[in-house]
């Protein structure tokens, strides 16, 4: 395994008083040290030399990326510092002892590289990669998937765990970390340093990250390069063994994603969807962000939802989190799941700064697309009519959705007959609102008495008004089709008023 100047410097720093100066590159291109021989003036590219300051030539010929470990300090080093990298041991040290130590450093990394590739060829197991890397870094190492669940286990924590919302929010805010960032990134959270490397698949999609805990020692530049090397091998291990990231739940989740996006299902996905246990009852929950400044990644929210609601399925679709949840476990003695679900779901939405639409219940996962449409319709219409809440059940907004679908893209006014337009004009200038009387009359199932009671007028007055409305509109309210058309128009006008008020 080849190293670079930063790694060698970091190793020497643990034993000798050293300083590094000059130009260097981060690529790992140098091999074991060569002992400098007197009278040599040419230093070859990508070579590591060990020398004492007294024996260095005054006018060297230096190729690119030369690294020289020098024992002792002197004026002649000024000829080197602008053209190569110098690692200067400031005090006297045994020349051959330093050489032996540097060779041991290379041996250590050679052995690590060999063991990593053996693991890759045999099992491609991430836990084994982490276990053999901990002695190299002498720090705790963790691997998270795209949902911020741990793929490797910490000692003493064999159960599945994930980062909490506060942790991931701080993690992202500390250095404006984003999941498409390549290379090692040093984070400082709560006084503790973390070295993080994002992981990607062949298509360039984010699949997780690995991070090292700082502990008592700060990270050096060499740690970053080595962490990136370990991360690249983890990516290859996941590519070789995709089952690390897949499970039966993943298969079902992918099937639900295809249904929601109206893509065809594979035979295996169809088979998995049909294995619904008796008694399971699902709802679709679509979560939108209630706070535009929220920095929680969609992948994290999906993972957090699946952890908070075991057995659920959550995935992002554009700017929405789509979740499918079996609510049978929330059902109370009366057969209702609303109360138990509301309490837990509101708490989750508060932690993740979200609002949610909830579909009607369904038993066949093949109906996922309709349930998704219901949840989205609920949150869209609910935000207009009841913007102060965070949960929107489709059954509460089904009528609004039906009316909106019935009138289509046209305004309610487009469905006014000439007679209805005249009645509306009369209401705007006259003391009596015949339109309100009609609305209350239809809402009370054409009951004259109930209408009179609600409007605080005499029953005979209601009879007179309804007779006049029928004459003015040239309709018979006993005709069900006529009543339905008028009720849709009146409801559409009511919805338009609510939308206007919401905008204002």
Q: What is the CATH classification number for the domain harbouring 225?
A: 3.30.450.40
- 219, 243, 267 - which closes a domain: 243
Q: Please name which of 364, 424, 376, 422 lies closest in space to residue 401, comparing C-alpha atoms.
A: 376
Cβ-in-10-Å burial (0-12, 13-18, 19+) of 131 comes to: middle
- Looking at the predicted structure, is the pLDDT value of residue 307 above 90? no
In the prediction, which pLDDT does 464 show?
94
Q: Which is it for the CA torsion 440, 446, 450, 455, positive or negative?
A: positive
Q: Are residues 366 and 281 in the same domain?
A: yes
User: C-alpha dihedral over 97, 103, 109, 112, to 10 degrees?
Assistant: -90
Q: How far apart are CA 352 and CA 220, in angstroms?
A: 35
Q: Are residues 268 and 390 in the same domain?
A: yes
Q: Is residue 64 part of a domain?
A: yes
CATH number for the domain that contains residue 307: 3.30.70
In the prediction, which pLDDT does 173 show?
58
Q: Which residue has the higher pLDDT, 111 or 144?
A: 111
Q: How far apart are CA 180 and CA 205, in angstroms?
A: 8
Q: Are residues 323 and 379 in the same domain?
A: yes
Pair of tokens at residue 424 = 């509306």
> In this structure, are residues 209 and 238 in contact, taking their beta carbons and an 8 Å threshold?
no
- Looking at the predicted structure, is the pLDDT value of residue 294 above 70? no
Q: Which is it for the CA torsion 99, 102, 108, 112, positive or negative?
A: negative
Q: Is residue 118 part of a domain?
A: no
Q: Is residue 193 part of a domain?
A: yes
pLDDT tier for residue 7 given thresholds of 50, 70 and 90: very high
Q: Are residues 256 and 378 in the same domain?
A: yes
pLDDT tier for residue 359 given thresholds of 50, 70 and 90: very high
Q: Are residues 305 and 329 in the same domain?
A: yes
Q: Is residue 401 part of a domain?
A: no
Pair of tokens at residue 214 = 């700082």
- 225, 243, 261 - which closes a domain: 243
**Residue 293, Cα to own-chain centre: how many angstroms?**
14
In the prediction, which pLDDT does 168 show?
59
List the single range of 70-79, 266-275, 429-438 with lowest mean pLDDT.
266-275
pLDDT tier for residue 191 given thresholds of 50, 70 and 90: confident
Pair of tokens at residue 295 = 């920095």
Q: Are residues 370 and 452 in the same domain?
A: no
Q: Are residues 253 and 388 in the same domain?
A: yes
- 45, 69, 103 - which closes a domain: 103
Q: DSSP string covering 297-357, please?
A: -HHHHHHHHHHHSTT-EEEEETTEEEEEEE-GGG--TTS--HHHHHHHHHHHHHHHTEEEE
Q: How far apart are CA 179 and CA 152, in angstroms?
A: 19
In the prediction, which pLDDT does 160 show?
46
- Looking at the predicted structure, is the pLDDT value of residue 288 above 90? yes
- Looking at the predicted structure, is the pLDDT value of residue 393 above 90? yes
Q: Is residue 254 part of a domain?
A: yes
Q: Is residue 111 part of a domain?
A: no
Contacts of 13 (CB under 8 A, 6+ apart): 220
In the prediction, which pLDDT does 246 show?
61
| Domain count across the chain | 4
What separation in angstroms does the CA of 17 have from each of 10, 158, 200, 472?
Answer: 11, 41, 39, 101
* φ, ψ of residue 172 in degrees (nearest 5): -80, -35
pLDDT digits 0-9 by tens, 443-483: 999 999 999 999 999 999 999 999 999 999 999 999 999 99
Q: Which residue has the higher pLDDT, 496 or 315?
A: 315
Pair of tokens at residue 392 = 């929107």
Q: Are residues 98 and 11 in the same domain?
A: yes
List the single range of 71-80, 156-165, 270-279 with lowest mean pLDDT.
156-165
pLDDT digits 0-9 by tens, 206-259: 888 899 988 778 899 999 999 999 999 999 999 888 767 766 677 788 899 999
In the prediction, which pLDDT does 273 show?
83
Q: Are residues 95 and 153 in the same domain?
A: no
Q: Is the pTM of this model over 0.75?
A: no
**If you average pLDDT over every residue of the chain, what do you get?**
87
Q: Are residues 159 and 233 in the same domain?
A: yes
Q: Are residues 271 and 230 in the same domain?
A: no
Q: Are residues 253 and 390 in the same domain?
A: yes
Q: Is residue 13 part of a domain?
A: yes
Q: Is residue 149 part of a domain?
A: yes
**426 is in which domain, residue-wise?**
412-503
pLDDT tier for residue 158 given thresholds of 50, 70 and 90: very low
User: C-alpha dihedral over 502, 486, 439, 405, to 10 degrees?
Assistant: -30
In the prediction, which pLDDT does 311 show?
84
- Looking at the predicted structure, is the pLDDT value of residue 298 above 60? yes
């Amino acid at each position: 395994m080849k190293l670079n100047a930063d790694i060698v410097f970091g190793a020497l720093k643990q034993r000798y008083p050293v300083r590094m100066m000059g130009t260097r590159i981060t690529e790992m291109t140098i091999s074991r040290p060569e002992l400098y021989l007197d009278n040599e003036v040419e230093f070859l590219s990508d070579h590591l030399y060990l020398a004492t300051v007294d024996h260095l030539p005054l006018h060297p010929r230096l190729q690119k990326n030369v690294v020289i470990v020098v024992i002792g300090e002197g004026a002649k080093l000024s000829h080197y510092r602008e053209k190569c990298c110098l690692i200067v041991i400031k005090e006297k040290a045994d020349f051959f002892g330093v050489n032996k130590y540097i060779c041991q450093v290379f041996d250590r990394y050679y052995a690590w590289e060999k063991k990593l590739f053996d693991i890759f060829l045999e099992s491609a197991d991430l836990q084994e990669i982490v276990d053999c890397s901990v002695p190299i870094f002498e720090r705790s190492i963790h691997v998270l998937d795209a949902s911020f669940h741990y793929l490797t286990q910490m000692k003493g924590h064999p159960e599945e765990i994930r980062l909490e919302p506060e942790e991931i929010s701080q993690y992202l805010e500390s250095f404006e970390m984003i999941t498409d960032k390549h290379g090692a990134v040093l984070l400082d959270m709560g006084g503790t340093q973390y070295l993080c490397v994002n992981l990607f698949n062949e298509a360039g999609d984010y699949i997780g990250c690995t991070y090292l805990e700082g502990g008592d020692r700060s990270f050096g530049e060499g740690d970053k390069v080595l962490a990136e090397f370990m991360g690249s091998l983890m990516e290859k291990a996941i590519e070789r063994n995709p089952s690390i990231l897949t499970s039966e739940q993943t298969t079902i989740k992918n099937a639900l994603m295809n249904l929601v996006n109206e893509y065809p299902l594979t035979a295996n996905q169809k088979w998995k969807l049909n294995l619904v246990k008796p008694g399971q009852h699902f709802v679709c929950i679509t979560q939108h962000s209630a706070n535009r400044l929220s920095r929680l990644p969609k992948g994290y929210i999906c993972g957090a939802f699946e952890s908070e609601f075991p057995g659920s399925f959550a995935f992002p679709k554009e700017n929405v989190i789509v979740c499918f949840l079996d609510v049978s476990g929330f059902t109370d003695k009366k057969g209702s799941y609303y109360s138990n679900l509301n309490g837990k779901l509101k708490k989750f939405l508060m932690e993740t700064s979200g609002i949610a639409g909830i579909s009607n219940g369904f038993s066949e996962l093949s109906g996922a697309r309709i349930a998704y449409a219901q949840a989205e319709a609920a949150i869209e219409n609910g935000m207009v009519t009841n913007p102060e809440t965070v949960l929107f059940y489709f059954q509460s907004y089904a009528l609004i959705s039906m009316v909106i679908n019935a009138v289509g893209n046209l305004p309610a006014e487009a469905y006014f007959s000439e007679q209805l337009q005249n009645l509306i004009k009369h209401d705007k200038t006259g003391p009596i609102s015949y339109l309100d009387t009609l609305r209350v009359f239809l809402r009370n199932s054409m009951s004259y008495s109930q209408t009179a009671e609600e409007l605080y007028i005499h029953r005979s007055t209601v009879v007179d008004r309804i007779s006049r409305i029928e004459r003015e509109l040239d309709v018979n309210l006993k005709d069900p089709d006529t009543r339905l058309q008028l009720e849709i128009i009146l409801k559409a006008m009511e919805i338009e008023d609510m939308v206007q008020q919401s905008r204002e």
